[in-house]
């Protein structure tokens, strides 16, 4: 009897360069778990038991292909010593450290590998280990890692290109270290998220892509799927520079950015689409209509996964289940063969 082709096996097959039979339905659903477990998000982040319990509920109820094991935009920065400031509404912001040079960073953190023993990185790894046992071989286990450009911006007050170039190597080492810890724990999909890609010059893009390459290689070595995600729309110059590179990972972009692509795109593991939160939440939305647009927009690209532009906000779980169900049916109709 042939082995069942579960989402986890599909993710690993894509990581090996195989064409998927269908795109994976992988929306980012993490903070909803805090609501399900009736705890504030700030407490949820540090509780692997509640995170794992919520992930199982989300998988059983929403039937997503990928379970979001951990999604924290400030995971690495907080482990490096930055302070998180919580607001009354449950949201948070980051209080940057006043670094002058990378030497000061190295004094605080002699090696990026130490990062895996700090903050909630240990929690994230523990959640993955628990879910790989309790969910067996069904959904893919998905995690978020902050990309080096975004992390460099979090650590610096300035977004000046020369300042970013100075710290980019260190940030890339951190990205690689956290990624390795998570795939070593059993993660199947690693979202390398760049929240704010500046209007990149060719020099910065070349430097950034070369520093990301070792991280992508490590993730694929573990037969996990690296997905480079851009959570905000890119400037045309940045998009052009990015597409001139050869990427040994999947690229995940917004519909508007994908609509500007000139195929073929050199992404070995295909393309991903980041749908806006409004798609999943609006009662007036027509998922079939949007999927028709997707089919029209990227007829020459291999579609690897359909995700969201960020962690989906607290929304009506029943409405979300309805939208995901319709989206799942659309993906089963051969969207992956676009």
More confident call, 329 vs 72 = 72
Q: What is the pLDDT of residue 336?
A: 41
The pTM for the full model equals 0.91
More confident site: 298 or 11? 11
Q: Is the pLDDT confidence value at 101 over 50?
A: yes
What does the alpha-carbon distance between residue 224 and residue 335 come to, in Å, rounded to a whole number?
A: 22
Check if CATH label 3.20.20.210 holds for domain 7-337: yes
Range name among 80-84, 105-109, 267-271 with the lowest pLDDT average: 105-109
pLDDT digits (tens, 9 = 90+) for 112-151: 566 767 779 999 999 999 999 999 768 999 999 999 999 9
pLDDT, one tens digit per residue, over 255-274 is: 888 878 776 677 888 889 99
What is the domain partition of the chain in residue ranges? 7-337
Mean local confidence (pLDDT), 159-170 = 77
């Amino acid at each position: 009897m042939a082995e069942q082709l579960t989402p986890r096996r599909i993710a690993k097959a894509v990581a090996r360069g195989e064409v998927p039979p269908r795109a994976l339905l992988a929306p980012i659903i993490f903070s909803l778990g805090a609501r399900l477990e009736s705890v504030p998000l700030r407490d949820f982040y540090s509780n692997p038991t509640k995170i794992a319990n919520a992930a199982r509920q989300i998988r059983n109820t929403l039937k997503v292909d990928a379970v979001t094991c951990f999604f924290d935009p400030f995971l690495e920065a907080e482990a490096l010593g930055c302070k998180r400031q919580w607001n009354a509404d449950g949201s948070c912001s980051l209080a940057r450290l006043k670094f002058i040079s990378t030497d000061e960073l190295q004094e605080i953190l002699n090696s990026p590998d130490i990062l895996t023993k700090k903050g909630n990185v240990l929690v994230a790894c523990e959640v993955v280990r628990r879910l790989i046992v309790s969910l067996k071989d069904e959904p893919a286990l998905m995690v978020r890692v902050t990309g080096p450009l975004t992390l460099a911006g979090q650590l610096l007050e300035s977004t000046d290109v020369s300042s970013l170039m100075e710290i980019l190597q260190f940030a890339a080492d951190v990205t690689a270290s956290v990624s390795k810890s998570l795939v070593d724990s059993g993660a199947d999909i690693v979202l390398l998220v760049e929240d704010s890609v500046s209007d990149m010059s060719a020099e910065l893009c070349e430097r950034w892509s070369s520093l990301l390459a070792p991280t992508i290689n490590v993730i694929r070595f573990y037969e996990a799927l690296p997905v480079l995600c851009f959570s905000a729309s890119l400037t045309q110059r940045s998009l052009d520079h990015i597409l001139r590179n050869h990427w040994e990972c999947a690229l995940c972009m917004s519909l508007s950015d994908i609509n500007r692509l000139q195929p073929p795109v050199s992404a070995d593991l295909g393309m991903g689409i980041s749908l806006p939160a409004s798609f999943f939440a609006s009662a007036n939305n027509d998922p079939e209509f949007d999927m028709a647009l997707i089919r029209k927009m990227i007829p020459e690209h291999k579609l690897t996964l359909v995700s969201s532009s960020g962690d989906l906000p607290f929304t009506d779980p029943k409405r979300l289940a309805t939208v995901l169900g319709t989206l799942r049916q659309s993906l089963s109709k051969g969207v992956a063969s676009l």
